[in-house]
Amino acid sequence: MKWLVLLVLVAFSECIVKIPLRRVKTMRNTEHACRLSQISFRGSNLTTFPLRNIMDMLYVGNITVGTPPQEFQVLFDTGSFFLWVPSVFCRSSACSKLVRFRHLQSSTLRLTDKICRITYGSGRIKGIVVRDTVRIGDLVSTDQLFGLSLVEYGFEDIPFDGILGLNYPNISSAGAIPIVDNLKNQGAISEPVFAFYLSKYKQEGSVVMSGGVDQRYYKGELNWVPLIQVGGWTVHMDCISMKRKVIACSGGCHADFDTRTSLIQGPSTLVNNIQKLIGARQRGSQHYVSCSGANTLPSIIFTINGINYPVPAQAYILKDSRGHCCTTFKENKVSSSTETWILGDVFLRLYFSVFDRGNDRIGLARAL
């Protein structure tokens, strides 16, 4: 299906008319640990929202927009920062099966003079920017800036209505404030922290939590990793190895944590080498292995900040709709001057992940 292709691709630009240049602050090689604040654990500040697992390919949750509230199913995305849902005026075929926002029915809607254009790897939208009340469970963000799509391309047959971005506001010339920032500024959450627990196979059980973390979803201690720079959920990765041999990221590289991406993506030559090492054969756009031997394949180790994070074959090999076993490694089509790997849901199902905007860091622990 087309939406499976969309999920593994990265957004190129955000919903803004013009893009300002700004200097970013480097996070590595600083006395970062000395200034970290305490994260709330299962306290009154913690709010948990259920997510629905769709075929182990993406995780969606419900929000409401407007007064009275209109409900939408959205993808919670750490790879972008903007929120958008379809407008009732969207006439694209991609919108025909989606829930569309009826702005005339909302008493709290405010129009702006901005338009938005968001381009993803295989799809794009164009729309208008408005303000209204957005609710995520019990959390309420008033006067939230977001987009209403008027035109959508490449989003046919997607199983969600819109996207709710959770990244830093790194491209924000239209004054777009991400919903996490708005919730913090309005006192709805005490800390700009959110975390993901992603279930495997089960449709229910996955959650995204805001304002803190719930220790019932992981075991051991959270291992904190500083961001390379403010502006995105990117950290330094030491190496990728298999059977005690480095197979990628040999001199260190970047790792992006992206909940919109279902697979693990990396540079073409290195991904192809991993496919060969595990005996995968290409058929069409996918690489397959023998299902009978899949469980005997070795784990692939991602070493981050000195900690090993194994990804076993049971995680990086999935069965498709025909019962064939395909790998979850994919070429990253977005070129970069630095070797970059995108760790999507395949990795995040194994490791409970905490995104701490207040301290510019990511926490990882083995998921239960």
What Å distances lie between residue 64 and 74, 155, 270, 298, CA to CA? Answer: 10, 21, 42, 44
Please report the domains of the chain, with CATH numbers, ordered by start residue.
2-23+44-210 (2.40.70.10), 215-367 (2.40.70.10)
Set 161, 238, 258, 356: catalytic member = 258
What Å distances lie between residue 357 and 55, 114, 202, 306, 334, CA to CA? Answer: 30, 27, 29, 22, 25
Cis (ω within 30 of 0) for the bond into 298?
Answer: no
* Whether the Cβ atoms of residue 242 and residue 300 lie closer than 8 Å to each other: yes
Question: Residue 276 has what pLDDT?
Answer: 97
Q: Identity (one letter) of the amino acid at 64?
A: T
> pLDDT below 70 — which residues of the chain?
1-44, 121-122, 170-175
Whether residue 320 lies in the annotated active site: no
Q: Phi/psi at 268 (nearest 5 deg)?
A: -55, -50
> For residue 101, what is the DSSP state?
B
3-state secondary structure of 208: strand
pLDDT tens, residue by residue, 28-49: 333 333 334 445 555 557 899 9
What Å distances lie between residue 365 and 95, 224, 279, 310, CA to CA? Answer: 38, 9, 30, 12
Q: How far apart are the first and last CA of the chain?
A: 31
Task: Please report how many Cα atoms fall inside a 13 Å half-sphere around the Cα of residue 275, on the Cβ side.
Answer: 24
Question: Residue 11 has what pLDDT?
Answer: 42
Return d(Cα 363, Cα 351) in angstroms, integer: 9
Whether residue 77 lies in the annotated active site: yes
Task: Please report how many Cα atoms fall inside a 13 Å half-sphere around the Cα of residue 164, on the Cβ side.
Answer: 23
* Whether the Cβ atoms of residue 213 and residue 358 lie closer than 8 Å to each other: no
pTM to 2 decimal places: 0.88
Return d(Cα 43, Cα 46) in angstroms, integer: 6
Question: Residue 361 has what pLDDT?
Answer: 98
Tokens representing residue 341 in the block: 């790997």
Question: Residue 28 has what pLDDT?
Answer: 38
Residue of 330, 332, 327, 366 lying closest to 348 (CA atoms): 366
284-308 b/e (C-beta count within 10 Å ≥ 16 → b):
eeebbbeeeebeebebbbbbbeeee
